[in-house]
Chains A and B, each alone.
Chain A
């Protein structure tokens, strides 16, 4: 464990050094991402401006959802970018090279990329705006809960990125489907999931538990009422991460024993 962390830090530091060499690029990229995200947020506003709020849901609470999901995804992307662009790694044959290094490949793929700050930044803006507009009261308990929820959300997306990468062992071109799940999921997550039909609610609660780390915690913040599912939310995110890691491990084994 300590060895793995050391190795992770080693790779990250090296990557950081090259990224810092072009710090202006990193800032530009972050700004570009921020711009795109804020525009998406603006369409959400436009929708509410047109229709007014729906029972139990308005622009403020939707902004919280929009922000929360992007903070979580931004963190997952920042660390798990290697998994997200794994199809490139496979296609260029770089995966074999990774296998030749005496460090688990998952560590090598988790090298941090800091240009994702744009997404996290946009998420924070939207989330904080939502909280203040909805008059969310923060105290020690809710802040601690929020931190746990964000970590759980990042873990969930990280698990998803690992599953997406595993898919690349079989079909590099199925990647856009996985992308649709990841990005479509974010779009879906920014609107109230209790308005969905039962089967869909089931999917987003139990199959791909996006609602659990997004909608349910947001509701807790809005109402101040905890329930068992809400408390378990961060844990469920981490369980999903565990599942992703397991799938990944099996994928690597299958690749090396049946692969190319």
Chain B
């Protein structure tokens, strides 16, 4: 049972698959490189967000890390285990949540599902009771326990999924779009749980998502995928500075103002929004220039939203790979 928690170590992993299209009379087989020579490390206990456009290789990577797909080449090590060759042993120590699919038993009450999972992962009774109680309290799902899974709302179900994935105290947790389609309250509950997991510090978590607010809220680090490669491996700050450290200034004035270094993004009535690069002109200088042209009633300076940064990054990458 005792595995050393060395985190996740991926070295030069590649994976391709063939895709056949066409009819009987006219078919073509193409090879798609889902992952190309990917290398990275994640220390034990870290929470890493994976982003990237659809088809960039995120889910292939997660499948490989879960042990349900074999890499063509390279080495994979998750807390001392090689996932594919030791799949059955490996999956005993991991938790997986797919936002789009349930791993709960559809027709059973939640509590029965939990009991099944206890037996399935052979968690000792008292240990399970403690863990279950902890998770139920944390996620606030005490009242849903007697309901059948199929009767739960999406938000309730996702909380139960998270509890189910954590009952057997996994050392790695894979979350695939855990907040997709959730209402604001449920989203916050999921994020709060992830932060709590991070504080307790013994679960390495990989979060793949398109919701960058999730990443901003909880991730230590981001892996950005594009075309099967890692485009960026670093903090959110790294991401911002690597792809245009653009800032946004919004001013409310009595008459329109402008500046050659500021790009007008939006103008509604007396309110104008500009983007600018702080390396070209500082916020103070820009504001002074605007103040010289008009009377400013209100001003707000923010970072460009992470969504826009990432969208630009994808665009940039597509341009490059062409």
- A-to-B contact residues, CB < 8 Å: 6-7, 10-11, 14, 17-18, 21, 93-94, 96-97, 99-104, 256-260
Residues of B within 8 A of A104 (CB): 88
Contact B120 A259 (CB under 8 A): no
Residues of A within 8 A of B91 (CB): 99-102
Interface centre among B67, B68, B101, B103 (most CB of A within 10 A): B68
CA distance A99 to B116 in the complex (A): 17
Can you name 17 extra interface pairs (CB under 8 A) apart from A11-B116, A18-B105, A18-B108?
A7-B119, A10-B119, A14-B112, A93-B101, A96-B63, A97-B101, A97-B103, A99-B68, A99-B91, A100-B103, A101-B91, A102-B88, A102-B92, A256-B70, A256-B84, A257-B69, A257-B70
* Smallest CB separation, B109 vs chain A (Å): 10
Residues of B within 8 A of A257 (CB): 69-70, 84
- A sample of 27 inter-chain contacts (CB < 8 A) reads A6-B119, A7-B119, A10-B116, A10-B119, A10-B120, A14-B108, A14-B116, A17-B112, A18-B108, A21-B107, A93-B101, A94-B101, A96-B68, A99-B67, A99-B91, A100-B91, A100-B94, A101-B91, A101-B120, A102-B88, A102-B89, A102-B92, A103-B88, A256-B70, A257-B69, A257-B84, A260-B17
CA distance A221 to B112 in the complex (A): 48
The secondary structure that dominates the A interface is: helix
Contact A17 B108 (CB under 8 A): yes
Q: How large is the interface on B (under 10, 10 to 19, 20 to 34, 35 or more residues)?
A: 20 to 34
Question: What string of 1s and 0s marks CB contacts (under 8 Å) between B82-101 and chain A?
Answer: 00100111011010101001
- B-to-A contact residues, CB < 8 Å: 17, 63, 66-70, 84, 87-89, 91-92, 94, 96, 98, 101, 103, 105, 107-108, 112, 116, 119-121
Residues of B within 8 A of A100 (CB): 66, 68, 91, 94, 96, 103
Residues of B within 8 A of A6 (CB): 119
A103 with B120: in contact, given A96-B63, A96-B68, A256-B68 (CB under 8 Å)? yes
Who on chain A is nearest to B92 by CB?
A: A102
Which 5 pairs across A and B sit closest by C-beta, in order of nearness?
A: A18-B107, A102-B92, A257-B70, A99-B68, A102-B91
CA distance A21 to B112 in the complex (A): 14
Who on chain B is nearest to A13 by CB?
A: B116
* Of B87, B89, B98, the contact of A99 (CB 8 Å cutoff): B87
* Smallest CB separation, A204 vs chain B (Å): 31
Who on chain A is nearest to B96 by CB?
A: A100
CA distance A77 to B128 in the complex (A): 35
Who on chain A is nearest to B90 by CB?
A: A102
Contact B120 A102 (CB under 8 A): yes
CA distance A14 to B68 in the complex (A): 25
* Smallest CB separation, B310 vs chain A (Å): 27
* Smallest CB separation, B300 vs chain A (Å): 45
Who on chain B is nearest to A18 by CB?
A: B107
Who on chain B is nearest to A253 by CB?
A: B70
Contact B101 A256 (CB under 8 A): no
CA distance A169 to B112 in the complex (A): 32
CA distance A8 to B81 in the complex (A): 26
Residues of B within 8 A of A10 (CB): 116, 119-120
